[in-house]
Structure 1
Amino acid sequence: AQECRLGRSSSLYIYSDQGSHEPLARVDRAAPGEADEVMYYHTDVNGAPEEMTDGGGNIVWEAGYQVWGNLTHEKETRPVQQNLRFQGQYLDRETGLHYNLYRFYDPDIGKFISGDPISIRGGINLYQYAPNPLSWIDPLGLKCGSSYEQARNKALKWLEERGFKAERVNIGKFGSTRGKPVGMTTADGKTGFRIEYDERSGAHINVFSGKDKGEHFLFDASESIVTKLQKLFDLPSKPQRPIS
């Protein structure tokens, strides 16, 4: 995404994955004859920016939030105009509201200020942001869902408790993913994960450790996005788990 300012430089926002709304970096494009600057986001568990650092690792902006996104503090070491908030949200500093594409969100009350565009078909609480802002996101202002990053972090926590190390590429066994990378396993192939998509569960991460099968860690993404995520594990430097 790109932000253009009247009479000033523009900013290009780079996100952590295809289809993700969690910011990774911002490239400030300067006036002709001046060098561009890259700054990096450091986010909390739900993808909201907590710090921004420059190329030398120096903090140029930092903030803290209460549960529903209103600030407890904000500090700049120089003007950087950092306005990203919860995933998909952009702060309007004049009103204090967060632009959330289809609706405006009020962090002081933890709700949207207008009703759901699809009325009660979206649920009986027309102004609700999400049941829990730590494990749910609503980047479009239409429906809440878990992000890939949140599902990945939950899956890794489950795996690390069972001694997981990403040592071998996990290869799909069935359907369109047969013979293709879908995740990672330990060297012995007994503990690992698969990123998958099916009509019943949608996008999800399967985890396993021997006979111990974990839950499906669901996230909000299309089948094409899942395919792109699977390609991240096409790692020639790593051995592949054989198809049994």
Structure 2
Amino acid sequence: PTAIIGYDYLWSGEQLIEETPVYADGTVGYKNSIHWLYEPGALTPLARHEKGQLYYVVSDHQGTVREILTEAGELIWAGRLLTWGEPECWPVLTVNDPRNLTCNLRFCGQYEDEESGLYYNRFRYYDNETGQYLCADPIGLAGGENPYSYVPNPTNWIDPLGLSGFFTPSIFNAPSGSTHTVYQQAIDWDLPVNTRNGIKTNLDLALDGKSPFVVKDGKYSQINLHHSKQNGLGSLFELSADTHRQYYGTKALHPHLPNAHPINPVNRDQFNIDRDAYWRNRAEAELKIRKPRKCGI
């Protein structure tokens, strides 16, 4: 058979949905393409289709692939990522078994380039040996003290776009009936904020359905609840106003401007209701964490 010299990739928004081999003779192996299926509006893979076979994917709490199984439930591939993303695959099948699979998906939003060993992370390349990006954050120190850093704690946080390492996924069931995966930032709920009605904390604001603030490079910046790729039914990101302004109109945030999303445009009136409910839910979850618990409970 002709050797594989590369792959063509197909993306749907932030989701890698197809890997197609390219052979040395110039032909493209569409029949051997790998197709990825994801949770609705999220970056967590659910299944993989290859050569007429459907495989189910088991992921951890951060969307990292841990196991791949056949439709009959037989384990075909298994592995994990060490603290900063070094892959560790466990032998499941014999080396010469034709059912052997490879999986190059790494941390949420990352894909390993086998030739370089680097992870493609949308806006930047990530090196698991150093736990850092190869280039600095495009917004400089506004992204943090170390512009090359991934996330402070990779067991809880993810950075699917390679922009801000403060995201952890959560599910939000909106009043409108839609369900979204929301990539959340770490918020200082006791941060004091000057308002027209005096000083309030972030927790006070969120309980009123208003957006809280984060401090970036010594300056206050309100958090926007952003629709990924302008998709009204897709994932949501908690982005600071500064970050949203920096990348406004780019393909990463607004690929369809000046138009709306062609299939799922955002209904602003409905979203205003959903957004207010989201922040109230966020604040109520924080109150539950703070609520004193009785011994033994």
TM-score range normalised by the length of the shorter chain = 0.5 to 0.7
Which letter maps to 1:10? S
Report SS of the residue matched to 1:5: strand
- Find the counterpart in structure 2 of residue 144 from structure 1: 165
Extract unaligned runs of 5+ from structure 2. Answer: 1-16, 23-27, 94-98, 180-208, 214-222, 237-269, 275-297
- Find the counterpart in structure 2 of residue 14 from structure 1: 37
Q: Is 1:94 the equivalent of 2:115?
A: yes
Partner deviation per Cα, 1:138-157 (whole Å, 9 max, x = no partner): 11111124343xx34xx9xx
Percent of aligned positions that are identical? 31
Measure how far apart 1:91 and its partner are. 1.0
- Identify if the C-alpha distance between structure 1 residues 81 and 221 changes in structure 2 by more than 3 Å, giving closer, same or farther: farther
- Find the counterpart in structure 2 of residue 23 from structure 1: 45
- Identify if the C-alpha distance between structure 1 residues 101 and 41 changes in structure 2 by more than 3 Å, giving closer, same or farther: same
Contact conserved, 2:59 with 2:66, CA < 8 A, in 1?
yes
Measure how far apart 1:201 and its partner are. 4.6
Measure how far apart 1:23 and its partner are. 1.1
Extract unaligned runs of 5+ from structure 1. Answer: 31-35, 156-169, 184-197, 203-217, 231-244
Contact conserved, 1:27 with 1:38, CA < 8 A, in 2?
yes
Contact conserved, 1:26 with 1:39, CA < 8 A, in 2?
yes
Q: Is 1:40 the equivalent of 2:48?
A: no
Larger relative contact order (C-alpha < 8 A, sep ≥ 6)? 1
Partner deviation per Cα, 1:25-46 (whole Å, 9 max, x = no partner): 1122x3xxxxx21111111222
Query: 2-side partners of 1:65 and 1:138: how far apart?
Result: 15
Contact conserved, 1:146 with 1:219, CA < 8 A, in 2?
no
Query: 2-side partners of 1:71 and 1:221: how far apart?
Result: 31
Measure how far apart 1:74 and its partner are. 3.7
TM-score by length of 2: 0.49
- Identify if the C-alpha distance between structure 1 residues 219 and 54 changes in structure 2 by more than 3 Å, giving closer, same or farther: farther
Contact conserved, 2:119 with 2:127, CA < 8 A, in 1?
yes
- Identify if the C-alpha distance between structure 1 residues 2 and 135 changes in structure 2 by more than 3 Å, giving closer, same or farther: same
Contact conserved, 1:145 with 1:219, CA < 8 A, in 2?
no
Query: 2-side partners of 1:139 and 1:106: how far apart?
Result: 14
Q: How many residue pairs were aligned?
A: 169
Report SS of the residue matched to 1:120: helix
- Find the counterpart in structure 1 of residue 19 from structure 2: 3
Measured on the aligned residues, the alpha-carbon RMSD in Å equals 3.3
Measure how far apart 1:116 and its partner are. 1.0
Q: Is 1:113 the equivalent of 2:129?
A: no
- Find the counterpart in structure 2 of residue 104 from structure 1: 125
- Identify if the C-alpha distance between structure 1 residues 12 and 73 changes in structure 2 by more than 3 Å, giving closer, same or farther: closer
Which letter maps to 2:91? K
